[in-house]
Structures are given as structure tokens and as C-alpha cells.
């Protein structure tokens, strides 16, 4: 009965989505019509029904209802509860239901609280949101029903991919989906503004919180996914240029460009057409990522679908939504006013430069991701990895980061380099000094050395906009910018340091013997079998001593799951302020020794601390912008009240 209730809620939500689209379209002719008045209530109720459907799916996984095909395929009665619940979205159908739930709730929230835009523009925006939603409802209900029943209940479930049986699954996918759906809202705002030709600061202010929110969630999702892969896969790396990793990176790059563009439009009434275009591109990247992950054309732990028909369905949706939006942009872009002009040497000029760089990096990642798929279609297999992405991406990343360090020092509209030549000289001197220092320390990797130098310069430059200002009066949004830019510097320092100074040791060690890696001495104390709720393992007990410090015990495992059968390596980490020791245990050799794989990774944790700082900067920006918008709306309301009082006199 629970499954049937969830399915019924989905059908009703889909019907309300159709009503929302029809009402929004009718509102373009008469915004006071009966159909137009139903748009906001339809959006709100649709969001509640989609949320109810997802809660029903969670309940089915929690009780392990093996009469439901999705539960029997992706769960097991012996799994811990946290993995039962996270298994609800650790599969194709459940992840798509999560997507549509978040999108419907976002549409309902827009309908409930957004009052800044003209009603006709809001109706167009909600209609565009409904148009996107209808396609996903059709996809779920016609080809990916999460509530499908089995003819006979299964005796036991197949279980969940062991690599996904980790707390990371409870956090990583949902945060990414919140980001993707935030970009769908930005897309709907862009389409609504194009349809009604209302592209201006008010449109940007309504759109900006959603872009900021999407960007924050994408940042957190990518950061969490990177750390999850780092400790779970046992390969010792934090980024592999996996196509599915790229599928989350590409929307983040587009959203970063869109975030800066929409901020300029909101504050300075410039970059109107560029903002609309980036809104379309950002959602396009989300849709493309969805297609890559769920079409079956990728083989990855992330890729849930193996049915080409589903991939064709998503490809059709991508063509309709993105092709239609690009066609609308081509038809209406000429009617979008140019907006205010600005000089090249201005803060707007720096933002445009970095947006172009971000777009170029996005193109590089897109090409490197799709090229192997295109060649494979002609039976030619090629591998595109770090030798392509790192140096080619650096061509655009390096100048972008340098401009990021000095751009916030420029004034809006028009400025001169002479005015800020002293801060520029200071940043340049710091970069050169850092570069000399890392060369003395023995790091001879060009990209890593440049990364360390730029990271230090950017870290200093990120705080220079606060120079000469009373800190208590600095706007919260400015603090957000400073924090986000500093977070980028921190992450870059961690990436470059890990690349320049990491040490790896692969050794065969007998019980009681030791080996060394970097400043650590690692002793294998014992190896013993252990058992978990749905796995058995060989566990090594390691005593790791840092130089003359206290020994730390590490317990890496080699696990064997039985539902489904799979062997995994569970790494363990010893974290210090200056880096991490990373340990993995392998098989036993014929002479009784055990394989140990050890890494010493200086300052690697800064990668993820920096990601958290970037997201925190985004949160501060949201708080600051919302407060500013509320003050502006209050001031407008107060001025209007005064005018009415004067008129009454």
C-alpha cells in the first residue's frame, strides 16, 4: 500500500505540473485569468506531493519491503539502517525521484515567497519550471518507476554496491542534486525573463540567491565526493578526472561564471545577455551530467543506469530543454538591452575576463570528457586523463587566478592600473619569493610550483579589499567574497603541495617488521580476521610513529562483502597539521609477508578545508545579499507609503 500511495502522489504531482504549465502560458495573455491564479497553488501542492512520494520510498527501504523491485535490487535486510536509507538514492530510479522532489520543492518555494518580479515574469518562470518537471515526471513514470512491484516478493535483496556503503553516500549525492536543481531554477528564471523581455537588476536579484545556493551545494558536493573517493577507493588520489567527476565539475564551473555575472547585473545593470546565456549553459551542464551518469555509456561506480532506452529518453529531454532555450535566446537576445557599459580596467572587466577563462576551462573539460565517448563509437579506444587536463587547463587557470587576486581591488565602471600598482607589486613579489622557496625545498614540478606560488599570492590578495576599511562596517557579502577567494587559495595550496611533495611506499612487511615513508615509521603489529554486519575482512594493526612523536594505531582492512559479492580496500588515515599518512593493506605473499601501500601527503587536508571555506563564503554572501534585498524592499515600501501620504494631503 505504501508503494501505491507514493506512485499515486507522483501521478497527481505530474498532473499539477501540467496545470502549472498551462496556467503559466495562459498568464502571458491575461495574468488575472482563472488558470493563471492556479499556478502558484499548483506549484506548492506539487512540491508537497513529490516530497510525500520520496518519503514513501524512504519508508520502503527502511523496512526492506522486498516486494518492491527497487528495494530488492538495491538493498538487503542485513544492511545497517543508514545504508538502507541512503540506498534509496544510491540507484537510478531513486536518484531521479530525489531530483524531481528537490525540483518540485524549489518550484513550490518560488511560488510561495517570490514577489519581487512582475507577475507575468513569475508566471513565465513557473511555467518554465513546470515544463522541465513534466519531462522528469514522464521519465520516472513511464520508464523508471521507483515503486514497481515484483510478481512475487524476493527472499532476500541483492544489496548495494559495497563502494556505496559509506556515509559519503548519505551526503554527496543529495548535495549535488540540490546544486543541480538550483541551476534548474536559474534556468527557469532566465527563460521567464526572455519570454517577457524583463532582463534587469530586479530579475538578477531574484535569481541570485538560487544561483548562490546552487553554487554552495555544488561546492560541498564536489568537496565531499572528492574526500569520499580519496579514502574509500584506496588509490591514494583525491581527483581522477573520471568522466562522472567531470560531470559534477562542469556545472560548478558554469555556475561560478553565472554567479559573478548575475552579481554584476544585480549591482551594476551590466552583462544582461551574458547572464541569460550562462543560466542556460549552467543547466545544460547539469542535464549533460545526468545523461552521462544515467545513460549507460559510462562504466563507473557513480553510473546507475545501464539501459540505453533511458539514456535516449534523457538525451531527448536535453535536446528539448536546452535546444529550445538556445533557440529562444537566439530569437530574443536582440531584444535584450545592452545594459551599462564599463571599461576594461574595472572590476566588471576583471569579472568578464575570469568568466571567459572559466568558460574556456569548461570547454576543455567537456572536450576531454566527450572525446573518448565519440572515438569509442568508431571502435577506437582512447584515454584522456591528467596529461591532457592538467597542462591544457593550466593555460587558462593560471591567468584566471592571478586576475582573481587583483580584480577585487579595482573599482566599478572605470579604474586605472596605476592606482593599485603597489598592491599588485606586493602580490607579485610574494609569488616570486614563494616560487624561489619551493625550488630550494626541492619541488621541481612546474605546475605544482606555480600552484604553490599563486596560492600564497591569492591568499594575501584575497584580504586586500579589506585594507583601510573599518572591519565592523564591511558588508557581509564582501566578507563572503573574501572567504571564498581565500578558500580557493587554501585548496590550491593543498593540491599543489600534495602534487609536489607526496611520497609513496609499496612494501612487503612481515608481522613485527617496519618500513618508512616520509617522516613516518610504520610497524605491522598483527593481522587478524574481523566481521561486520554484511562483510568479513582481514585487518592489519599498524603502529605509525611520526619522527620522535607518539605512535598512532591504524587498522586498514581488506573486506569481502557477500551481498553483492565484492572485495574492497578500506584505507585508514593518520592526520597531522602538516599532512596525512594514508595506509592500505593488500594480500599475503607466499613467504608470509603482507603487502602495504603507504603514502605521506603533505598538507593534503587543505584541499577539503579550502572547499568548506569556499562554501562558507557562499553562505555569507547569501546572508548578506538577502539582508541587502530586504532593506531595499523595505525602503521602497517606506517611500511608497510616504508618497501615498503626500498624495492624501
User: Average per-residue pLDDT in the chain?
Assistant: 89
CA distance 586 to 601: 20
**Would you say 287 and 152 are in contact if contact means Cβ atoms under 8 Å apart?**
no
Find out whether 462 and 410 touch, Cβ atoms under 8 Å.
no
- Rounded percentage of the chain residues whose pLDDT exceeds 70: 96
- pLDDT reported for residue 92: 81
- For CA atoms 427, 428, 429, 430, give the dihedral sign: positive
Residue 538, pLDDT above cutoff 60? yes
**Residue 9, pLDDT above cutoff 60:** yes
**Which residues face 65 on adjacent strands?**
none
- Cα pseudo-dihedral 485, 489, 494, 497, rounded to 10: 170
Distance, CA of 427 to CA of 454 (rounded, Å): 9
Q: In what order do the strands lie in the sheet with 572-576?
A: 503-509, 594-602, 579-588, 572-576
pLDDT of residue 76: 80
Q: Which residues face 560 on adjacent strands?
A: 536, 567
16 vs 130: CA distance, rounded Å: 9
Distance CA 139, CA 100 (A): 10
Backbone conformation region of residue 567, classed left if phi is above 0, alpha if psi is from -120 to 50, else beta: beta
**Contact residues for 75 (Cβ-Cβ < 8 A; gap 6+):** 61, 64, 84, 87, 157, 158, 159, 160
What is the model's pLDDT at position 288?
A: 85
**CB environment 77-90: b (16+ within 10 A), e (fewer):** ebbeeebbbbbbbb
Minimal CA–CA distance to 255: which of 269, 275, 241, 272? 275
pTM value > 0.85: yes
User: Would you call 388 helix, strand, or coil by DSSP?
Assistant: helix
Q: What does the pLDDT read at residue 295?
A: 60
Question: What integer pLDDT is reported at residue 611 of this predicted model?
Answer: 97
Asked if 175 contacts 220 with a C-beta cutoff of 8 angstroms, the reply is yes
pLDDT at residue 309 in the model: 67
Length of the chain: 649
| Three-class SS state of 216 | helix
* Residue 409 pLDDT class (50, 70, 90 cuts): very high
Better-scored residue on pLDDT, 7 or 86: 7
Peptide bond into 564 cis (omega under 30): yes
Examine the pLDDT at 649 and tell me if it is beyond 70.
Answer: no
Query: Could you give the CA distance from residue 389 to residue 383 in angstroms, rounded to a whole number?
Result: 11
How far is the C-alpha of 633 from the C-alpha of 116, rounded, in Å? 9
Coil, strand or helix at 401: helix
Q: pLDDT tens digits, residue range 267-325?
A: 888 889 899 999 999 999 988 887 777 665 655 444 444 456 676 777 788 888 888 88
535 has which bridge partners? 561
Number of Cα atoms under 13 Å in the Cβ half of residue 24 = 28
Pairwise CA distance, residues 82 & 75, whole Å: 11
Residue 379, C-alpha cell as written in the block: 571502435
Confidence of residue 216 (pLDDT cuts 50, 70, 90): very high
Separation CA 181–CA 185 (nearest Å): 6
CA proximity to 219, closest of 638, 522, 548, 615? 615
State how far the alpha carbon of 620 is from the alpha carbons of 177, 298, 475, 478, 623, in Å: 21, 37, 10, 8, 5
Mean pLDDT of 434-455: 91
HEC string of 507-543?
EEECCCCEEEECCEEEEEEEEEEEECCCEEEEEEEEE
Residue 213 is placed in which grid cell?
545556493
Residue spans of alpha helices (H) in 407-475:
421-440, 446-463
| 3-state DSSP percent of the chain in helix, strand and coil, to 5 | 65, 10, 25
Residue at grid coordinates 624561489: 436
What is residue 333's DSSP assignment? G
Query: Where does residue 271 fall: left (phi above 0), alpha (psi -120 to 50 degrees), or beta otherwise?
Result: left
Q: How high is the pLDDT of residue 407? A: 93
Tell me the mean pLDDT in the region 213-219. 96
**Residues 61/75, Cβ–Cβ less than 8 Å:** yes
Grid coordinates 574526500 are at which residue?
Answer: 227
Mean pLDDT of 420-446: 91
Half-sphere exposure of 231 (CA within 13 A, CB side): 19
In 138-291, beta strands by DSSP E: none
pLDDT tens digits along 456-502 = 999 999 999 999 898 889 999 999 999 999 999 999 999 999 999 99
64: left (phi over 0), alpha (psi -120 to 50) or beta: left
Q: What is the pLDDT of residue 523?
A: 93
Residue with cell 614563494: 434
What Rg, from alpha-carbon coordinates, does the chain have? 27
Residue 475 and residue 263 in contact, taking contact as beta carbons nearer than 8 Å: no
Q: What is the phi/psi pair of residue 221, to 5°?
A: -65, -45
Mean pLDDT: which of 146-160, 262-276, 632-646 is highest?
262-276
| Cell numbers given for 612 | 568548506
Candidate from 97-101, 145-149, 232-236, 577-581 with smallest mean pLDDT: 232-236
Amino acid at each position: 500500500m505504501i508503494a501505491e500511495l507514493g506512485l499515486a502522489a507522483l501521478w497527481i504531482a505530474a498532473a499539477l505540473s501540467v496545470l502549472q504549465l498551462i496556467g503559466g502560458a495562459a498568464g502571458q495573455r491575461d495574468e488575472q485569468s482563472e488558470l493563471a491564479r492556479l499556478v502558484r497553488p499548483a506549484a506548492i501542492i506539487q512540491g508537497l506531493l513529490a516530497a510525500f512520494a520520496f518519503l514513501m520510498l524512504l519508508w520502503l527501504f527502511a523496512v526492506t519491503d522486498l516486494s518492491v523491485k527497487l528495494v530488492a535490487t538495491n538493498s538487503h535486510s542485513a544492511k545497517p539502517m543508514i545504508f538502507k536509507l541512503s540506498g534509496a538514492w544510491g540507484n537510478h530510479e531513486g536518484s531521479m525521484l530525489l531530483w524531481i522532489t528537490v525540483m518540485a520543492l524549489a518550484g513550490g518555494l518560488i511560488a510561495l515567497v517570490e514577489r519581487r518580479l512582475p507577475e507575468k515574469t513569475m508566471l513565465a518562470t513557473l511555467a518554465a519550471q513546470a515544463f522541465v518537471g513534466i519531462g522528469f515526471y514522464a521519465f520516472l513514470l513511464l520508464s523508471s518507476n521507483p515503486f514497481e512491484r515484483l510478481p512475487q516478493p524476493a527472499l532476500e535483496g541483492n544489496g548495494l554496491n559495497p563502494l556505496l556503503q559509506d556515509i559519503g553516500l548519505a551526503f554527496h549525492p543529495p548535495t549535488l542534486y540540490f546544486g543541480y536543481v538550483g541551476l534548474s531554477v536559474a534556468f527557469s528564471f532566465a527563460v521567464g525573463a526572455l519570454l517577457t523581455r524583463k532582463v534587469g537588476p530586479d530579475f538578477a536579484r531574484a535569481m541570485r540567491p538560487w544561483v548562490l545556493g546552487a553554487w554552495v551545494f555544488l561546492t560541498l558536493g564536489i568537496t565531499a565526493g572528492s574526500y569520499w573517493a580519496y579514502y574509500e577507493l584506496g588509490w591514494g588520489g583525491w581527483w581522477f578526472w573520471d568522466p562522472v567527476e567531470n560531470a559534477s565539475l562542469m556545472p560548478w564551473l558554469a555556475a561560478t561564471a553565472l554567479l559573478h555575472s548575475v552579481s554584476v547585473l544585480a549591482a551594476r545593470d551590466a552583462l544582461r545577455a551574458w547572464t541569460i546565456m550562462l543560466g542556460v549553459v549552467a543547466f545544460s551542464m547539469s542535464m549533460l551530467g545526468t545523461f552521462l551518469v544515467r545513460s549507460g555509456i559510462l562504466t563507473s561506480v557513480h553510473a546507475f543506469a545501464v539501459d540505453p532506452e533511458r539514456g535516449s529518453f534523457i538525451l531527448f529531454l536535453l535536446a528539448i530543454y536546452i535546444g529550445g532555450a538556445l533557440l529562444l535566446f537566439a530569437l530574443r537576445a536582440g531584444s535584450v538591452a545592452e545594459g551599462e557599459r564599463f571599461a576594461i580596467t574595472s572590476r566588471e572587466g576583471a569579472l568578464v575576463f575570469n568568466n571567459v577563462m572559466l568558460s574556456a576551462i569548461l570547454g576543455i573539460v567537456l572536450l576531454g570528457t566527450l572525446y573518448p565517448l565519440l572515438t569509442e563509437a568508431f571502435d577506437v579506444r582512447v584515454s584522456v586523463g591528467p596529461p591532457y587536463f592538467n597542462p591544457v587547463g593550466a593555460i587558462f587557470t593560471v591567468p584566471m587566478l592571478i586576475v582573481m587576486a587583483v580584480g577585487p581591488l579595482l573599482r566599478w565602471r572605470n579604474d586605472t592600473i596605476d592606482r593599485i600598482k603597489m598592491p599588485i607589486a606586493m602580490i607579485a613579489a610574494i609569488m616570486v619569493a614563494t616560487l624561489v622557496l619551493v625550488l630550494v625545498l626541492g619541488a621541481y614540478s612546474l605546475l605544482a610550483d606555480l600552484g604553490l606560488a599563486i596560492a600564497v599570492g591569492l591568499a594575501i590578495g584575497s584580504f586586500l579589499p579589506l585594507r583601510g576599511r573599518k572591519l565592523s562596517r564591511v558588508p557581509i557579502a564582501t566578507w563572503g567574497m573574501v572567504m571564498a577567494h581565500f578558500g580557493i587559495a587554501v585548496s590550491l595550496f593543498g593540491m599543489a603541495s600534495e602534487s609536489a611533495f607526496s611520497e609513496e611506499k609499496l612494501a612487503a612487511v612481515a608481522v613485527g617488521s617496519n618500513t618508512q615513508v616520509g617522516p613516518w615509521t610504520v610497524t605491522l603489529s598483527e593481522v587478524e580476521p574481523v566481521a561486520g554486519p554484511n562483510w568479513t575482512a582481514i585487518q592489519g594493526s599498524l603502529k605509525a610513529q611520526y619522527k620522535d612523536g607518539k605512535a598512532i594505531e591504524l587498522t586498514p582492512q581488506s573486506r569481502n562483502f557477500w551481498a553483492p559479492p565484492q572485495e574492497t580496500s578500506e584505507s585508514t588515515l593518520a592526520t597531522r597539521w602538516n599532512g596525512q599518512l594514508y595506509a592500505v593493506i593488500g594480500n599475503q605473499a607466499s613467504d608470509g609477508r603482507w603487502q602495504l601501500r603507504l603514502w605521506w601527503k603533505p598538507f593534503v587536508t587543505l584541499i577539503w578545508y579550502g572547499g568548506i571555506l569556499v562554501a562558507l563564503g557562499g553562505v555569507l554572501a547569501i546572508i548578506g545579499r538577502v539582508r541587502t534585498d530586504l532593506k531595499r524592499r523595505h525602503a521602497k515600501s517606506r517611500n511608497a507609503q510616504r508618497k501615498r501620504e503626500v498624495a492624501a494631503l
